[in-house]
Every structure is written in C-alpha cells, then in structure tokens.
Structure 1
Amino acid sequence: MKKKLPRLEHPWLLLLTPTPEILGAFLNLPTALTQSLTYLLVGVAAWANRHLPGIYLVLTGALLNALAVFLHGGMPVDPDALNRAGLERYRDYLAQKGDGFHYLAPAFPLGDWIPLPGRVLSPGDLAIALGLLLTPLLQPKRENLR
C-alpha cells in the first residue's frame, strides 16, 4: 500500500485571508477589526491543516499576534527596537497611531520588539515565518513513502 503526501486542506480559506483587509479599505473599517479577522482566518486555515508539519508554529504565531491585538487594541511597536532597526523616521507617525493599527509603546513580550534591518517583528511574526518555512521542508520525500 502506497502512502500519500499530506495535502493542504481547504485552500480556499487561505485565499480568503486578505478579504477583511480589502473590505476594510473600501468600507473604512477599523484596522484593529480587519487585522483581527485576518488573524482569525489564518488561525482557522492553520487549524484545518494541523496535520502538516510546521503548521502548529503558524497557528501559535497567529494566536500570539491576535492576543497582542486583542489586549492592546492594535499592535504595539517598541520605540527602542524601531531605532535599532533604522526606522526612527516612523516614530512620530506611530506615536499618532498613523495607520490605526500599529502604535508606539513598550511592546514586550507580544508586540513588535524584535529589530531586524528595516523592520521590527513580533514573536508571533517569527513563529509564523518559521512554521511556513518548515512546513514544506519537513514534508516526507516521495521516495520515502513507498
């Protein structure tokens, strides 16, 4: 009997993930609402595909980011991390909640506080990225399925 490669379940859920952002732009909905709905869709898609290796990291990252948004009404961005990432030009913009979602505030442990060149990430962002990277890498090879 031949084993099968795990397959992506309900791919249409992933196609729906940008829908809250698009509707929010046209209907002038609060960014915190559209971001929360987007994280919810990512979480549902990840849960439906939890049989794939690495997806639990994606799910964990989405939950961490959703928790940060829920607790803070948006995603806090650490001012020191912003400076270390070379993005100090955005301090005033974020201090005024310029995009309605990100704002300048101490962000540890859930918010954006991890500086990289040109960006500041949250632990949830890193978990999502690592999970998406590991999912295809941890798939069994076809020759190992015989």
Structure 2
Amino acid sequence: MTGAALFSLGLGALLRYLGVRWGTPLTLRHFWLPLSVLAVEVLGVLMGFPLQGLVYLGVFLWLALNWHPIFLPSLLGAGLNALAILLYGGMPVDPVALERAGLAHTVSHLASRGDGLHHLGPAFPLGDWIALPGRVLSPGDLLICLSLFLVALRGVKVVRE
C-alpha cells in the first residue's frame, strides 16, 4: 500500500506542478500526527508487533481534526480495511493475486509465518485481491489512494500548531 500511496501523491503533485489545478489548497493542521502514525507503522513492522489498531486510530483522529469532503474516500477506504482486519483477524491476501502481481515469493512467506497483519485467505471483497505489477491492493487501499491523489492535486497549506 505504501508504494501505491506514494505513487498517488506523486502523480497528483506532478499534475499540479504541470499546471493542472483543482480548487484552492487545503489548510491542514496537526501535521505531526500522520508522521507519528507512519513511525508507529514502521516500528510495528520492524518489531513484528501488530500495531495497526494504533495506526487506524491516528489516521481517524487526523482526518477528524482536518475534516474536508476530499477525505471521504480515504475515510471510507480506511473503514473498509479496518472492517476486513476485524472480520478476518488480519488482512486476507489472495495468493493468486500475489502470483499475478509477481509476488509469488510472498505466498510462501505468508504461508509459513505471516507478517503480523496479513495472511493468506479468501480476500474478496474486502481484502487484498486487486493485482497490480509488484502490488496487491484492497478496494479500501484504492479509495485511500484516490484521496491522496486529490489532495496532492489540490495542494496543501500546512498550519503549524
């Protein structure tokens, strides 16, 4: 998901740089919060602890503090991902989608020990089943990427608080 999110932000920023604009820039507050959430997610992956609940809590808090309708797809996407994690005890990943995405080596890794959040299993409709080159995404991930693209296209003004 991280690569797809960075691609979405980069594409939106590139289009904005090239002169494609959509509305006035958003004013965002508490910018330290998404950076902290990113640090918690990286720490959880490195230490092997499932800290995804804290990550979602931080994302929802930041969205609430900076509410704008442009975040609606992101909120819906995060909600769908959280629902999948709650229903299945982690994010299910379709092994066929992993192979189609060129990630066959990940199938054996998830089958043997997992990564603390993802596990092999039937992923349709909420889990990771959408195969892209080098990535497998969920519908929630795509909605989050849509919001990130729109935010980058619109531009931001960060307010220090």
TM-score computed with the length of structure 2 as normaliser: 0.72
Q: Paired residue for 1:7?
A: 27
User: Structure 1 runs of 4+ off > 2 angstroms?
Assistant: 18-26, 136-139
Q: SS in structure 2 opposite 1:126?
A: helix
CA change 1:138–1:100 in 2 (3 A) is same
Contact 1:78–1:104 at 8 Å: present in 2 too?
Answer: yes
Q: 1:83-108: per-residue Cα shift (whole Å, max 9, x none)?
A: 11111122111112421211110101
Shift of residue 12 of structure 1? 2.2
| Aligned mates of 1:121, 1:72 — CA distance in 2 | 16
Q: Paired residue for 1:107?
A: 123
Percent identical across equivalent pairs?
53
TM-score computed with the length of structure 1 as normaliser: 0.78
Which structure carries more relative contact order (alpha carbon 8 Å, separation 6+)? Answer: 2
Q: SS in structure 1 opposite 2:114?
A: coil
Structure 1 alignment gaps of length 5 or more? 140-146
Match of 1:123 among 122, 139, 150: 139
Structure 2 alignment gaps of length 5 or more? 1-23, 156-161
1:50 aligns with 2:70: no
Contact 1:43–1:63 at 8 Å: present in 2 too?
Answer: no
What amino acid is the match of 2:56? Y
| Aligned mates of 2:145, 2:67 — CA distance in 1 | 16
Shift of residue 29 of structure 1? 6.5
What amino acid is the match of 2:63? A
Contact 2:127–2:139 at 8 Å: present in 1 too?
Answer: yes
User: Whose Rg is larger?
Assistant: 1
| Aligned mates of 1:138, 1:5 — CA distance in 2 | 5
1:60 aligns with 2:80: no
| Aligned mates of 1:63, 1:72 — CA distance in 2 | 14
